[in-house]
Amino acid sequence: MKVRAIGFAMIALSCWLHAQQAQPAQEQPAAPDSGVLIRTETNLVLVDAIVTDKKGAYVADLKEKDFKVFEDGKEQPLKSFSFEADPVSGTERTHYLALMFDNASMSTGDQMRARQAAAKFIDGNAGPNRMMTVVNSSGIASGGQEFTADPAKLKAIVNGLQTPLIRTTDPNGKPSMSADLAIHSTLDNIRTLAKSMSGLPGRKILVWFTAGFPLNSEEVSEVTAIVSDCNRDNVAIYPVDVRGVVTGAPSLRNRLELPPLFAPPAMSVFRTVAFVPNPPFAPQARGGGAPAGGGSNMGGHGGETSSAPSGRGSTSTSTSSGSKSGTQSGTTSTGRGPTGAALPAGAGVVCGAGPAMAGGSASPGGVSPCNANRVLIPQLPSSVVGNQQVMYQLADGTGGFVIHDDNDILAALDKIGKEQNQYYLLGYTPPDAKPGSCHEIKVKVDRGGVEVRARSGYCSAKPLDVLSSTSPVTKGLEAEIADAKPGKIGGGMRAPFFYTGPNVARVNLAMDIATDQLKFEKKKGEKNDLHSQVDILGIAYTQQGTVAARFSDTVNLDYTDKDDADAAKRLPLHYENQFDIAPGKYTLKVAYSEGNGSYGRLEIPLDVSSYASDTLGVSALALSKQYRKVSELGGLLDVAMLEDKKPLIANGLEIVPTGTPTYSKEDLAIFYVEMYEPLLASGDASKAPQLGIRMRVLDRKTGEQKSDTGLLALSPAPPVGEATIPMGSKLPVSGLPPGEYTLEFTVADSANRTAQRTADFDIQ
C-alpha cells in the first residue's frame, strides 16, 4: 500500500499498484502434500531446515536428537522428523521453482546477463520432476508461463529484454519519480507469485533477479507480509543481486542488529492541517471477524489502543486471540493515546508510535503485533544498507540465501537448484495457536561447525466467523437483526466501498457505538481486572432476502484503572471491519450487544453499483474526522498487511472513516476517495489522459448549491502504469451554518468521460 505524493492545487494525491499479476499454475496436477506447510489449524507446525558445514556442503546424516526447535524462545518437543532428500531408489518427487525478473530495478546490461544465465539454467535443469515458471515484473507483472518442464516455453519468456513501465532509479542511479510505485509494484508481484504457489506440494523456490532498492517504514511492512505468506505457503526466496561484485555484504552469521529502516515522514496530504494536534478520540477497534457467504476472508482487525481524557490509552481486543494489557501514556503531541491503530484480531497489546509509552505488555505466549516485523524479518547489522537490505530480509525470513558479489550467475543458480530437496522437516505442536497470533521460530543443531537456515516465524490464521453460529450470543444477535425495532444502544454506521476488480467491491464498514451502558466486571487474578465486551454480528441481505456477506466479532475492553473505564463509557466505541461483495443492491444490518440483555441495531441500504474496468470510475466517499501519519504506525501497519487489510491511505496518511458524519466547528472534516482511470494502466504515456475533479456542497433539503470548487486539474499527472488514484482532502465546508448537506464529488478526464459520487453529512 504505497504512498506516492502527487500534488495539485490544494490537494495531494497518491497511487498504489493494482498490477495485472501472473498466476502461474501447474502444468501437471499434483497431489496435496500436507508434510510441508505450516498448518496451525491442525495444531501442528512444520518447519523445513537446511544444514550446511563450513564449506557450504549439505549435512545429510543428522538425527532427530540433533535438532532443537524454539518458539518464542521456548524449546518445543518434536512430534515428527524426516530428511526430505530424494530417495536413493524409487520415484523422485516433483519440485517447483519460479524465476522472477525485477526489470524495474535492473540496468539493461545486468538484465541481459541475468537472462542469459537463466536460459542456460533452464536447459540444464528443467525436466519432468523440475517444474519451472518465469515471470517478468516491469511495473505490471507479465509473461507468467504456467509451471512446465518444457525449456522452449520457459526460454520464450526469458529471452528478450524487457523495458519497464516504471523504474526505481533514473539514468543517473538516483531514485526516479516513480520509485515508490515501482518498489510497491515489485513487492506486490512477489507476494502474489508466492501466494499462487500455495497449492503446490513441497518446498517451493522463488529466485528473484534484482538490483534491489532501499526501504522505508511502509515498505518494511510489505516485506513482513511477504515473509508471512511465504512461510505459510512454504516458499523460500533466493534473491540474486545482478549487479555482480558489490561491496558491503556480510556473511549470514554476522548479521545481528536491525538497521534504521525508516524514511522521514511523508508530506501531509492536508496542506493546512499537516501539524495540527489530534483531537481526543474515542476507543477504537478493528473487526476480527471475516465475511462468509458472499465474500473472501476480509475480516477486520482486532482491538486497538485509544485515548482517554486522563491522557492514558485503553485497550480493546478481539476474542479470536486475546490477552489484555495495561494502560499507556499517549503518543500524540497532545499527550493523548493513539487512535484507530491497526491491530490483529485479538492482539491484546498496547502499541504506540511516540516516545511517551508506559505500561502495556505483549500477549502471553506470543509476540507483540506492534513488533511483527521484528519477529518475521531477521535482524541485520548496520552494514547491510541500501539496495541489499530487502534481499536479506526476504531471504533470511523465508529460509533462502542471497547471491551477491558474484559475477557467475549461472553457478549461483546451480547452487540454489541443489536446495530443492536438501532439507529436514521438523514438526511440533505449538503451545499457543491462538488465531491471529505471530510467533518467532529458531532452529538449532547440536553439532559443531554447521550452519542451519529455517524460516523466521509464522502467523496463524483467524477463523472466518469469530462467534459460534450456535452460541446463545449469536442467536440473540440474529434475533435482534430480524427485529424491526431499534435497540436500546445507539450508534451510527456508514459503509463506503472501493472496487478491487470489475465484479468485486471492498466494503469498509465504520461504526460508532454508544458505550454508556457498558458493564465492567471485576476479573480477579489478571493484570487488567476491569472487563467489558461488545459482541457484533453483521449481515448483508440481497433484495431476495438471501445472505450476501456475513461477519461476527467480539471486542474486549480491559482496563486496570476505574477512571479509564468510566472515561470509556463517555465516548463512543469506534469499530471498523471489511468484507468483499459483488455489485448489487443490499440491506446491511448490524446488531451488537454489551451484555445484560442490552442490544443495539443499525440498518442502512448498501447500493454497490457495477463497475466496468475499461471506463472511468470512482469509489464511494468515506467521510472522516481523523487521520494518522503512516510513518508513525510502525508495526501496526505490518499487521494490517499481514491480514490483507486495506487501510485508507493517501500521501502518507491513514484516513479513519467515521460512522457518524456529523461535524461541529471543532471537528476536522475530511474525506477519502479512489478514482479509477484505466487509460493510465496501459503504460503508454502518449495515451495518458488529463484528470480533474470538482467538489460541490448542496443543501440536502433544497438542493441549493452552497459551495463549488470548480474543476481542479491534477498536476502533475498521475504516473502511467497505475489505474487507481487514492485521494484525501478537506471537506469544503468552511462557513457552512448548521444543517443537512450533501457532498458531490466528480472526476473527469480529457477523453470526455465523467464519474460522480455523493455522500451526506450534517453540520451541528
- Supply the DSSP symbol for 362: P
Under 8 Å between Cβ of 136 and 208 = no
Burial class (CB in 10 A: 0-12, 13-18, 19+), 232: buried
Q: What is the dihedral of CA 148, 152, 158, 163, to 10 degrees?
A: -110
Res. 629 pLDDT band, cuts 50 70 90: confident
Residue 30, pLDDT above cutoff 60: no
User: Residue 645's pLDDT is what?
Assistant: 73
Residue 601, pLDDT above cutoff 80: yes
Show the domains of the chain with their CATH numbers. 40-247+373-459 (3.40.50.410), 282-345+462-610 (2.60.40.150)
Residue 265, pLDDT above cutoff 50: no
Secondary structure class of 374 (helix, strand, coil): helix
User: Residue 322's pLDDT is what?
Assistant: 32
First CA to last CA distance, the chain: 35
Res. 379 pLDDT band, cuts 50 70 90: low
User: Residue 737's pLDDT is what?
Assistant: 94
Res. 338 pLDDT band, cuts 50 70 90: very low
| Position with higher pLDDT, 636 vs 628 | 628
Least confident of 323-337, 501-515, 546-560: 323-337
Res. 640 pLDDT band, cuts 50 70 90: low
452 CB-near residues (< 8 Å, 6+ apart)? 49, 50, 51, 443, 444, 445
Residue 88, pLDDT above cutoff 50: no
User: Residue 510's pLDDT is what?
Assistant: 95
**Strand 547-559, strand 573-581: pairing:** unpaired
Under 8 Å between Cβ of 51 and 61 = no
Q: Is residue 158 within a helix (H) or strand (E), and if so which, with residue range?
A: helix 151-158
Q: What is the mean pLDDT of the chain?
A: 74
Residue 416, pLDDT above cutoff 70: yes
What is the C-alpha separation between 473 and 464, in angstroms, rounded?
17
Q: Read out DSSP for 394-426?
A: HHHHHT---B-S-S-HHHHHHHHHGGGS--EEE
User: Residue 665's pLDDT is what?
Assistant: 84
Q: Which three cell numbers stand for residue 273?
A: 492541517
| Position with higher pLDDT, 150 vs 90 | 150
Q: What is the dihedral of CA 194, 199, 203, 209, to 10 degrees?
A: -20
Question: How far is CA 68 from its chain centroid?
Answer: 32
Res. 11 pLDDT band, cuts 50 70 90: very low
Under 8 Å between Cβ of 193 and 206 = yes
User: Residue 434's pLDDT is what?
Assistant: 67
Give strand ranges (E) for 146-216: 204-210
Q: Which three cell numbers stand for residue 423?
A: 532439507
Q: What percent of the chain has pLDDT over 90?
A: 34
User: Residue 174's pLDDT is what?
Assistant: 75
User: Residue 284's pLDDT is what?
Assistant: 55
Least confident of 107-111, 179-183, 324-328: 324-328
User: Residue 204's pLDDT is what?
Assistant: 92
What is the C-alpha separation between 288 and 578, in angstroms, rounded?
10
What pLDDT, in 10s, does the model give residues 544-577?
A: 999 999 999 888 888 888 888 888 888 899 999 8
Residue 419, pLDDT above cutoff 90: no
Q: Which three cell numbers stand for residue 385?
A: 544498507
User: Residue 471's pLDDT is what?
Assistant: 84
What pLDDT, in 10s, does the model give residues 666-706?
A: 899 999 999 999 888 776 777 788 899 999 999 999 999 99
* Paired residues of 652 in beta bridges: none
Least confident of 65-69, 122-126, 344-348, 474-478: 344-348
Res. 528 pLDDT band, cuts 50 70 90: low
Residue 443, pLDDT above cutoff 70: yes
Distances in Å between the Cα of 363 and the Cα atoms of 99, 372, 397, 432 are 39, 12, 22, 10
Other beta carbons less than 10 A from residue 64's beta carbon: 12
What is the C-alpha separation between 378 and 593, in angstroms, rounded?
42
User: Residue 564's pLDDT is what?
Assistant: 85
* Radius of gyration of the chain from its Cα atoms, rounded to whole angstroms: 26
Residue 307, pLDDT above cutoff 70: no
Least confident of 54-68, 209-223, 323-337, 556-570: 323-337
Res. 190 pLDDT band, cuts 50 70 90: very high
Other beta carbons less than 10 A from residue 120's beta carbon: 16
